[in-house]
Amino acid sequence: MTSSASGIYGNFGQANYGAAKLGLLGLSNTLAVEGRKNNIHCNTIAPTAGSRMTKTILPEDVLEGLKPDYVAPLVLWLCHESCEENGSLFEVGAGWIGKLRWERTLGAIVRQKNQPMTPEAVKANWAKICDFDNTSTPQSVQESTGSIIGVLSKIDSGGVSTNHTSHTASTTTSGFDGAIGHQLPPFSSAYTELEAIMYALGVGASVKDPKDLKFIYEGSSDFTCLPTFAVTLAQKFMASGALAEIPGLSISLAKILHGEQYLELYKPLPRTGKLRCEAHVADVLDKGSGLLILLDVYSYSEKELVCYNQFSIFVVGSGGFGGKRSSDKVKEVAAIPNRPPDAVLTDTTSLNQAALYRLSGDWNPLHIDPNFANLAGFDKPILHGLCTFGFSARHVLKQFADNDASRFKAVKVRFVKPVYPGQTLQTEMWKEGNRIHFQTKNEETGDIVISNAYVDLVTTSEASDISAQTTSEGGELQSTLVFEEISRRLKDVGHEVVKKVKAVFEWHITKGGNVAAKWTIDLKNGSGKTYQGPAKGSADITIIISDEDFMQVVLGKLDPQKAFFNGRLKATGNILLSQKLQMILKDYAKL
């Protein structure tokens, strides 16, 4: 679209022309919003160029410097398929180009609850209404009206002073002193393989990729939780209403957005477990168009710290109170390198992706209810930001860690734009040492949806050290004595047992949900033997069982087949061989 400086700024004697040209800007911006879902972009230029109308007015040398030739390249770029600009306004002329945007002061609330709004109150606050030292730059109707709707909750809470000299002090000191450092009620998050698998499916893990089986099949010999599953375990406070109880803050859950997320794991998540979570408000920041709450959540298994999350929660329309805009407590994002990505992975989300992901505990109707989504300003329900986050982190883990969850250390992301279920996510990655920078794009629109993000990995040797430490912390395993005794007795009766069994059994013994030891009983070759570690060839069956349940099987108190069907014993390979376990182990019940 072509607008004009007369439309933007107004000009003497050009009322009709100026109105029409500004109307074109509104039309262009609306087309940009409506066309985005179909990958249609629309921008506006306001050129200063020589024309037949100005030929008799401007000197010839000025006309030469304002040739249309110095406008056309901008138009060609905006029309190019690789240009992602949309809904923008540019002034252009004489070889110069500048982008324009709306800027708004933080303004002032000039009425109180159940009180009339008066011209005197407007006059008293005029300096603040017109103060451009602190501003916001709304870029959509939702951002513009959201802050105004937020005024209603401030007025309803009674936390508004129309005295322009005292408003800032009363909000920043007395208001937030009680919020910063506030401890939310502690809570627990218990999970089994079922919850871990539902989460993995919710963030795109699939049987289409054999390497994903370890995340979605509990019988896999190396079954493990995706590292980002830890975020869902720490976010129960969102649904509990605890945010609304923070002193000094008046928060409507309908106005909160997830701004950024940080997760750090101190050890791999056990395959099942129960975490005790402690959350507190680390800081409260004024971002102009909204309020930013930094919420730190520490998750423990008994007394051991397993993971740490920092949720950056943006409350639309609650800013402008004159508070600080930054904090040393923020886990900062990191700019991506200035070069083409080292790797790119894509995944097309399912139309049911949000419906599936919400089963991991995020029940916000914005992601499932079309009417609620429309009220929030969206055409239809949007995908959870943390679902996109899970897809992206999984891409990094797959590309640079071969899906080894033990190599994951930390991840930080900034959520930029929403995604609709059914759209394709494209993760662009850059490797710099053990840090993998990434950004995620919506392939259909070209929009960046996660920006300035990174995953920190540990080396393979460091991961092994962590695994060894986890195993040693589990204490001495009772099962070790049994395997050692089986090894000793096979020297006498190995030939007989091999004739009856003819199979190699690999055992993964777990403690506290983690694999604490691996043993192999070879009853297929020679006179049989037992040794610690995975099978030196291929195992006919791999059995995963806790140290405690293994002892119950040995003592005859737990039937292996029943244990298999109720999930206490997991097996891969020729699972019919589990029928021979009692015959193998029954002689060792008196150990």
Tell me which residues are annotated as active site.
17
Token pair recorded at residue 524: 């297929």
536: Cα within 13 Å, side-chain hemisphere: 9
Token pair recorded at residue 443: 């392939």
Q: Which residues contact 273 (CB under 8 A, 6 or more apart)?
A: 190, 191, 301, 512, 513
Give how far Cα 297 sits from Cα of 69, 129, 228, 413, Å.
Answer: 58, 38, 14, 16
Q: DSSP H helical segments within 369-519, as ranges? A: 370-375, 385-401, 460-473, 478-501
CA distance 123 to 428: 52
CA distance 225 to 437: 22
Token pair recorded at residue 76: 């060609």
DSSP character for 448? E
CA distance 429 to 513: 32
* Longest distance between any two alpha carbons in the chain, whole Å: 113
Please answer whether residues 73 and 93 qualify as being in contact, where contact means their C-beta atoms are separated by less than 8 angstroms.
Answer: no
Reduced 3-state DSSP string for 153-201: HHHHHCCCCCCCCCHHHHHHHHHCCCCCCCECCCEEEEECHHHHHHHHH
CA distance 305 to 176: 29
CA distance 545 to 532: 16
Q: Which residues contact 469 (CB under 8 A, 6 or more apart)?
A: 267
Angle formed by the axes of helices 478-501 and 547-554, nearest 10°:
50
Reduced 3-state DSSP string for 57-108: CCCHHHHHHCCHHHCHHHHHHHHCCCCCCCCCEEEEECCEEEEECCCEECCC
Cα dihedral 44, 45, 51, 52, rounded to 10, equals 20
Strands 44-47 and 89-93: parallel
CA distance 136 to 289: 6
Please answer whether residues 292 and 259 qualify as being in contact, where contact means their C-beta atoms are separated by less than 8 angstroms.
Answer: yes
Backbone φ, ψ for residue 148 (5° rounding): -70, -40
